[in-house]
Chains A and B, each alone.
Chain A
Amino acid sequence: MVSIQNIQFTYPNSKTLVFPNFICKAGETLLISGNSGTGKTTLLHILAGIQKADSGAVVIDKHNIQALSGDQMDAFRGKHIGLILQNSHFIEAFNVLENVVFASWLGQGKELREKAQHLLETLGLGDQLYKKMTALSIGQQQRVSIARALINDPAILLADEPTSSLDDENTQIVSDLLIEMATKFQTALIIVTHDSRLKEKFPNQIVLK
């Protein structure tokens, strides 16, 4: 479960961003949308512990991550938070399978090779395991991102504009997969996007202003 309370953040020489409180339970989904400059990405970074809010609390699995030190946050993020980015960045030197296994090593200190393989097969990438990341299509790369985000059984799956660079067909596939995985792995799924194509798929939504 994830909840945020009274989160505020101020960039230097900018107005203070005030975010609404919300709760997203295990297996539930939440879509956060809003125009540019409303703080969508900032909120996602605060939820991921990449940035610290000026005030308020972000509670993930009963831990207020705002109170964690830098090292504690790195360890917590690896174990409890799965992150999917708009542009699928990967480790170029590793193949598809190694990219997912590496995430398990970073998060848990273990190379979960079989689990990574199983996840990739579930996501329809069973025949792409040993390919270079650059050999995959953008849609396939986004699916590898999902596998990588799920490898450590995170309590929360955060996706930043996961479909904005995809065509309609791939947007459909990726969004369905995200929802399916969140349900299957009982993970709270929070998507930050301005992609209106996703609105009808997510019953719980917050619009930032």
Chain B
Amino acid sequence: MIIKLAWKNLWLKPLNTILSFILLASSVAIITVLILLQNQFDKKFYDSIENIDLVLGAQGSPLQVLLSSVYQMDAPTGNIDYEEAKKWMANPFVKEAIPLAFGDNFHGYKILGTTPQYIEKYGGTLLEGTMFKNPLEVVIGSTIASNFKLAVGDTFLGSHGAVEHGEVHENHPYRIVGILKPTDRILDNLVVSNIESVWAVHDHASDDAPVDHATEVHDHQDGEHHNHDHKDEVAEVHNPEDGKEITAVLISFRNKMGLITWPRIIAQNTKMQAVLPAVEINRLISMFGVGIESLKYLAYGIMLLSGISIFVILYNRLKERKYEFALIRIHGGTSRQLLQLVVIESLLLCLIGFIFGTIIGRFCLGFISLAAQEEYKMSFNPLEVVWKNETTLFILTLCIGLLSAVIPALKAYSMNISKTLANA
């Protein structure tokens, strides 16, 4: 009955209650978004560089190399010579080296030339179809499949570069041979083929003739002499990888000495650069961190304001409620019940503020996720619960409620009912 009274009292002066509620719910919503964003950012960023000790890429911004090659979020700094990269890939220190080649996109989703090891590395498994074997065969991520209602056997055209509306390679349709299960990782937003596909499309960029997948694929695979409709390669005996370029190589070391020595050696002796993902990501996260922390302090400030607002409401209402309190006492209510009543009113307000705040926060994250998906092909899960941080936020919200109620509750507790009734 006390809770019922507390609840009804809250809505007796709805404007005051709504003001406090809005302040509290806003601060909880902001903090919830930041908690979820930070958690999912950290998870996505650190998860993606797991078992990648070093990235070989073209010279330029190391962060750009990392973002473009590991997170598929930025344009590459340039290309590197495949032959030269292969020397490093074959180094005894190297446990695994996965080459990456970018060139095109499909409606903004990157088409990545690599090896099947790339898909294995990110935990991808086929939902249907098979792994790509031949040029222009692709395996697509689950998001792309569902967004464009694509199925195994379908074909599509890629646009040149990373821009969605770039030049379309009309003569080189990609054929879907497999669709990946959802991974909640970058694989969901990628079209993956072998590196030869990227080379094939770009070697033929000026070629008007349509490509026959069945006939073109064979020789590029094994490097044998071939003699088909390549304008600039007619009757030429060569290694098909000669002069070819790739964008980056993801390397994991067998011997971690490579981590220490390679960046310097590669910088001094090659046109490439060696990027250490852990170092770059820590730098990036610390830069993000400043912004996130600033926003958090802003939200805590709003929360403090809401606490003050609750205090002012409860305190101001003490005067007009003194007869209500006296009535409760003369009908057998105890001082403790009066104290409870004031505290419960404050806690109820905070509880509703918290519940609505977390819901609003998740809606906001949903919208942020849609925008991020559109812009960066990166999504966030608004339904995730970060138990530790959100429990702390819940306790903090209740503490605000308790602190706001302390003085009004003690005043109600210690009121002199005889004096109050005598003045009635």
Contacts and interface: CB of A to CB of B under 8 A. Distances in A.
B333 A78 contact: yes
Interface string B313-340: 0000000000110111111111101000
B334 A74 contact: yes
B417 A94 contact: no
A48 interface: yes
Contacts of B1: 101-102, 105, 111
Contacts of A85: 421, 424
B333 A93 contact: no
B391 interface: no
B9 A106 contact: no
A89 B424 CA distance: 9
Contact of B332 (A75, A86, A89, A101): A75
B418 interface: yes
B287 interface: no
B422 interface: yes
B336 to A, nearest CB: 8
Contacts of B421: 41, 45, 50, 85, 160
Nearest to B2: A105
A50 B418 contact: yes
Contact of B324 (A75, A91, A105): A91
B330 A77 contact: yes
Measured as residues with beta carbon below 8 angstroms from the partner, the interface class of chain A is 20 to 34
Given A45-B422, A51-B418, A85-B421, A91 B327 contact: yes
A139 interface: no
A31 interface: no
Nearest to B321: A92
A86 B424 contact: yes
B266 interface: no
Contacts of B418: 45, 50-51
A75 B333 CA distance: 7
Interface string B413-424: 000011001101
B136 to A, nearest CB: 73
A106 B424 contact: no
Nearest to A45: B418
B8 interface: yes
A202 interface: no
B8 to A, nearest CB: 4
B332 A77 contact: yes
Interface in B240-257: none
Nearest to B7: A93
B372 interface: no
Contacts of B8: 93-94
Nearest to A102: B1
B331 A89 contact: no
Interface of B: 1, 5, 8-9, 11-12, 323-324, 326-335, 337, 417-418, 421-422, 424
25 contacts: A41-B421, A45-B421, A45-B422, A48-B330, A50-B329, A71-B334, A74-B329, A74-B335, A75-B334, A85-B421, A85-B424, A86-B424, A89-B324, A89-B327, A90-B324, A91-B324, A93-B5, A93-B8, A102-B331, A103-B332, A105-B1, A106-B328, A106-B331, A148-B331, A152-B332
Given A50-B330, A91-B5, A93-B12, 10 more contacts: A41-B421, A48-B330, A101-B1, A102-B5, A103-B331, A105-B1, A106-B331, A106-B332, A107-B332, A111-B1
